[in-house]
Structure 1
Amino acid sequence: MQTQHYCDGKLPNCISVHFNLEELTTTNTGVSNTPHAPNVISNLRKVAEHILEPVRKHFDRSVIVHSAYRSPAVNKAVGGSNNSQHSRGEAVDFRVQGHTVHEVAMWIKDHLTFDQLILEHFLPNSPQSGWVHCSYSHNNRGSVLTKFKGSQIYHPGILLVPPQKTVK
């Protein structure tokens, strides 16, 4: 059941049919997060069109955005990478109401074009943990990774458990 609002496409804060600028720039850091560069808004529109809207349509549920655009100050405050795609408006961290992040990440991997897809801060045996990080850019690589909570290692693929270390 869809519960998110609909943008009419004419309001200045509309990014796509179901997403507005406010929800893609909200932060709890207390630091200003207003995008000033025109390319950031354009990039957020592409992320919404190519990632968020297809996910919402397929799962027919609200998409809860945790982080999309991050100003340089916000990115620094949250410990983001210096070259974070969030700072260019090319990435979004989110969950889908009523679905596990693993399920959502697998669907994106199999059905959408993207630059980078990460099942992030996931805990084995805790299907509601973590979030999906997905980016879209002008040169999409199709990179697929999993980063388990408490680890700094990014593993190739969408995994339910960390790979076992082999002993020689």
Structure 2
Amino acid sequence: MQRTRTEGSTDQAGAGEGLRSNWRDWALWRALEQWWDGPDGVRRRLSAWCSSSSWWVPLQRGLWLLETGLYLLLCLGLCHALFTTGCHLLRSLFPVVAAIWKHLLPALLLMALSALPALLFAASFLLLLSTLLSLLGLLTGMTRPGPVISLHSGLDPGPRPI
């Protein structure tokens, strides 16, 4: 964007109008500002989209699909290990033990280790949820007016002043 200087309109001190914008550049700039910051501008729509669940739900479904595919591959690996073990079982008992040790045991260990993060996440989520529910119950009990319900009748202080 190149600005032109106006000629001929200066006062005695030499101060003129300064830089004057080209009308086209100014109109383009205003249109871009309107597009970005307008009443229904891109920034507002983008922040509304980010704060909504419209991007999270497809991402979550994609992650579930990926996890399902990985577990399917693990199941196929286990089936392959069992088939391999079954083939060796027809020959003799020692190759069966060797095949179980070689194929099935690592697959079972891999399955147990892959389920461990999900179990830890579920346990931590349940612990956090129970803590939040306990705090919510505590805060609700503290703010609600009414008599104090004591679990031990010998320690009952009587009605609470309002």
More helix by share: 2
Q: Same fold (TM over 0.5)?
A: no
TM-score, normalised relative to structure 1: 0.19
Higher relative contact order (CA 8 A, sep 6+): 1
The alignment's TM-score, normalised by the length of structure 2, stands at 0.20
More strand per residue: 1
